[in-house]
Structure 1
């Protein structure tokens, strides 16, 4: 019966090798392409989208032909299973989320619109009986009871968007998806070959065939359609691979998904702790940082090795009844990424900084809460001299008795991200504070057009009408902030960040705004 698994893998791979070029040609003909924008999408030429259609089609071909082989040579053990209730629902739901992704790829849905449609699709799957009723994680078991439905929907949404978020570099989601599906397929067949395992191997084969065209330099992308469809299959198959009935989510499938789950968790933490929208885009994902460090092919090798470690240990843990072994694999891989500062280090510092701030706020005596200040600076990505922009802002906040000032910069095309904050331990009451958030711009782009690169937030005590004068002076000084930002970006663009620096002070209105090179040159921070 193991031949059925190998047949599904081989047939779906062959089908993908045939379907992908056809889909690529059609996508180019109808204009479904991903164009570079010099900001976030940095590939050098338009690339075809719609790869998910080819993956889904080859998956269907692999499953159907494998069932025919089963009938012909193995007595038809799985005949009719594809049309059974929960399998039919899964494939219909996958087709639906594929359609949502194609609409998003073509016309760009808003984040909340896409999330709503995802919720409707996963609610249908959960309503069809694929419910997580028990969690068994690393030796601990939890009965969910009334929480079964929300936990199931949350898990499927996490799986869908984890694979979607990680699909930001050539071959990344395809490589991760292949290894994950093979691992889930092996778990599904620990008590004998199952149709769940056949589907897992068929999906892995489809991704292997697609990888031939998606490896660097890619000629076709999965698009949101493909990555979300794969995420849905992986999320559901992870539940079904735990036991024969979809009642439990075990530690091994979760551990196999450790890499994409870590990437999405870090993205959520990064955006939440810096005050960005959850739908904001950046180039600080796992694949972006590994690509900058190891190159396109090196990134895929590193990711493949890390996924193989978590997958192998998870499979061994399941077959030998050692659930803690899967946990060790996850801790080792994630710890390795953080310790080597390859990924997760900036988010780790953000969390520690926030925890330290909470501790200081509770440990500070009441009489010191107004005078004590908390300051944090985090180079989320890159090594730009952003303190030359930040430190004059802090001086201004101190001299004008502001309660809080925060800056958040995100320049995807430069692989730069910076976040800093300065505030009193105890902020004024909401009714007695003035808060303002303003966008920050730069002209230092490839086409010299203005572009928003971040925001500046201030909070000031609003106890007297003098606050209006302070805010007016702050707004006037914003014009002088732009050239400082532009100068740092010019240095980055010229790759001129290897000299010592002296932080300049915010110039007076009568002084020249543009800083000198002697004032702004500095040593790189070495962050990430």
Structure 2
């Protein structure tokens, strides 16, 4: 990138080279050093696979070094209104860099996707910086990154012969994160809506992953197949995925550029909202996360409408097929019947099988749960067998969680459930086997077969014994 910057500057005879070199001071030195550091971090992760918290800690240190060198967001400007951050300036700046680093890293799961997004993001930031009258070096750096990624895309497009890996994707995220902070109006540190609109696609993917994992009770570091590139690949194929991403980035970037050029701050968020609405509305990406949020919001709203006398007896149920179309309702519905008959406070099932692109989450609970000190809680892990013969292994795929109000009677009911948990595990394995057979059949036929309602022979008699 530095070589590309030097070449571009050399062709600009009208620019004062000495003044440009004067700008290559502490912030730029820190940025280049940080880029090397995160490159090394990515190489270590690609080689030995670091734990999620280890990688996050190293990213935090790198981000804090950059912020400590003076790259800080002091003001956030949205819709023409400037909001001073005050004491929150440093943590918000660090958080922004972490979001950008991980957003581009998470996108790098499909050939050419992170590279394509990086081209649009860096190119748009260069144009916005130019319109805002930023320093020449900022503009040249963004254009240089855009050009480098465009050349790399030749080898990274499907089927890719060279890959970014964590080293490349995290470094791109760091660079666009810093450049987006520098592309604000000249001589200010305000952060407007334009950079947010330009980065809307990778940020949306990251935030959706956080929402999906937090609302299903999974670890924030858990792996799944619910990212944007997974769903787009499944629906449009590898080449189609790049076209969809390119169109979405074009819309959001064009809106950000128009917003800056016309001095109309409302255009940038409008373009970003249009992209997100199209993604969610067509169920291309974000629809399951939207349902999870809507279900949680509806439960919260209903809690204000229920009379105190029925808070513990009135139930709220929601079930979301986060990904896939497995017949999990044949396991879930008997569980709800058991919980209802036994007067339990809550029952929850969460399943996540990344290798099958299957994810299911369902909850049934009282409007008001008993106090934590009065809860009897049982968690039963769910396992399936992968492989055959000596290569087979038992792998966890999720859990069932049951809560009852603590009493001698409730403990007996939970004991009954545990006695028959083996039969329930058998039904879970049967559902997984049915999903595997369906996917194998679809793969053999070379096309997607519409599931016309799979009938899974659930042993209802065994589940009924739990009552």
| TM-score (norm: length of structure 2) | 0.91
Alpha-carbon separation, structure 2, partners of 1:323 and 1:115: 33
Pair 1:389 & 2:331 matched: yes
**Aligned counterpart, 1:150:** 91
Counterpart secondary structure, 1:410: strand
Alpha-carbon separation, structure 1, partners of 2:264 and 2:194: 10
Alignment of 1:478-497 (within 5 A): 478-495=421-438
Pair 1:295 & 2:237 matched: yes
**Where does structure 2 lack aligned partners over 5 or more consecutive residues?**
442-449
Pair 1:453 & 2:394 matched: no
Pair 1:311 & 2:253 matched: yes
Q: Quick one: which of 230, 236, 249 aligns to 2:172? A: 230
RMSD, matched Cα: 2.1
Alpha-carbon separation, structure 2, partners of 1:290 and 1:329: 21
Q: Quick one: which of 260, 264, 281 aligns to 1:339? A: 281
Moved more, 175-184 or 480-489: 480-489
Spell out, residue by residue over 1:214-254, the C-alpha distance to the aligned partner (whole angstroms, 9 max, x if none). Answer: 11122232111111111111111001011234611111111
Alpha-carbon separation, structure 1, partners of 2:343 and 2:74: 54
Q: Quick one: which of 206, 213, 232 aligns to 1:264? A: 206
Contact residue 438 and residue 456 of structure 1 kept, 8 A: yes
**Aligned counterpart, 1:10:** none
Alpha-carbon separation, structure 1, partners of 2:53 and 2:135: 40
Q: Quick one: which of 97, 106, 110 aligns to 2:38? A: 97
Contact residue 378 and residue 414 of structure 2 kept, 8 A: no
Post-superposition shift, 1:333?
0.8
Alignment of 1:137-216 (within 5 A): 137-190=78-131, 191=133, 194-216=136-158
Counterpart secondary structure, 1:443: strand
Pair 1:475 & 2:418 matched: yes
Pair 1:355 & 2:355 matched: no
Pair 1:427 & 2:369 matched: yes
Alpha-carbon separation, structure 2, partners of 1:385 and 1:192: 56
| TM-score (norm: length of structure 1) | 0.81
**Aligned counterpart, 1:462:** 406
**Aligned counterpart, 1:51:** none
Contact residue 427 and residue 459 of structure 2 kept, 8 A: no
**Aligned counterpart, 2:225:** 283
Alpha-carbon separation, structure 1, partners of 2:187 and 2:354: 44
Cα distance change of structure 1 residues 246 and 167 upon mapping to structure 2, 3 Å threshold: farther
Moved more, 293-302 or 368-377: 368-377
Post-superposition shift, 1:282?
0.8
**Where does structure 1 lack aligned partners over 5 or more consecutive residues?**
1-58, 512-528
Contact residue 134 and residue 185 of structure 2 kept, 8 A: no
- Structure 1 residue ranges (4+ consecutive) displaced by more than 4 angstroms after TM superposition: 67-70, 72-75, 444-447, 501-506
Q: Quick one: which of 53, 64, 69 aligns to 1:123? A: 64
Spell out, residue by residue over 1:447-498, the C-alpha distance to the aligned partner (whole angstroms, 9 max, x if none). Answer: 542211112111111122x334323322222212233222222222222763
Pair 1:241 & 2:183 matched: yes
Alpha-carbon separation, structure 2, partners of 1:156 and 1:428: 41
Counterpart secondary structure, 1:343: coil
Alpha-carbon separation, structure 2, partners of 1:189 and 1:251: 16
Contact residue 67 and residue 78 of structure 1 kept, 8 A: no
Alpha-carbon separation, structure 2, partners of 1:193 and 1:118: 27
Cα distance change of structure 1 residues 309 and 78 upon mapping to structure 2, 3 Å threshold: farther
Spell out, residue by residue over 1:268-297, the C-alpha distance to the aligned partner (whole angstroms, 9 max, x if none). Answer: 111111111111111111111111111000
Spell out, residue by residue over 1:105-138, the C-alpha distance to the aligned partner (whole angstroms, 9 max, x if none). Answer: 1112111111111111111111111111111112
**Aligned counterpart, 1:274:** 216
Alpha-carbon separation, structure 2, partners of 1:294 and 1:502: 29
Moved more, 502-511 or 230-239: 502-511
Q: How many residues align?
A: 451
**Aligned counterpart, 2:445:** none
Post-superposition shift, 1:63?
2.5
